[in-house]
């Protein structure tokens, strides 16, 4: 058995605790409505993947061999970078949607303001033209 094929028990316990804590934390944040479900998927998938790779360390070693990395830690580092890229893409998509929504809402708000101003002018013009609204001048 190669040195790379086993993970020290202390590291296994630490990694399992961290992955379970991340999973519980994310679920709790969703439950308290501090994190939306759509954002929790990536975090939950990552914590489950981390948990599985700790229990099935040979899968991580096999993946390391497949991608040609020297050590499993290099594979984990690469996975972390991919996770951060996916997170950034998810936020960029959300920001783009929100930018479009703000633009549409601003345009609708401007049209409503214009409509209100036009209604106000129309009413004041009608009010000014009504016979009872003019001051009667005494001769």
**pLDDT, tens digit, 9 for 90 and up, residues 32-46:** 999 999 889 989 999
Confidence grade of residue 122 (pLDDT, cut at 50, 70, 90): confident
- Distance, CA of 90 to CA of 84 (rounded, Å): 10
* Helix ranges, 2-71 (H): 9-31, 37-55, 57-67
Q: What is the pLDDT of residues 64-100, one digit of tens each?
A: 999 999 999 899 999 999 999 998 998 999 999 999 9
| Residue located via tokens 């229990």 | 55
- Distance, CA of 15 to CA of 53 (rounded, Å): 10
Whether the full predicted model's pTM is greater than 0.85, yes or no, is no
Q: How far is CA 49 from CA 2, 6, 74, 80, 100, in A?
A: 23, 18, 16, 12, 34
Tell me which DSSP letter residue 132 carries: T
């Amino acid at each position: 058995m190669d040195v790379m094929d086993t993970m020290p028990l202390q590291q296994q316990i630490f990694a399992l605790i961290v992955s379970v804590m991340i999973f519980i934390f994310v679920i709790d944040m969703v439950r308290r409505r501090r994190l939306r479900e759509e954002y929790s998927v990536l975090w939950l998938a990552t914590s489950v993947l981390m948990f599985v790779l700790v229990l099935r360390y040979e899968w991580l070693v096999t993946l390391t061999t497949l991608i040609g990395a020297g050590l499993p830690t290099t594979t984990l580092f690469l996975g972390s970078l991919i996770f951060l890229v996916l997170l950034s893409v998810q936020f960029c998509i959300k920001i783009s949607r929100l930018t479009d929504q703000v633009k549409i809402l601003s345009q609708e708000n401007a049209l409503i303001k214009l409509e209100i101003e036009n209604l106000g002018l129309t009413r004041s013009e009608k009010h000014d033209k009504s016979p009872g609204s003019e001051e009667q001048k005494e001769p």
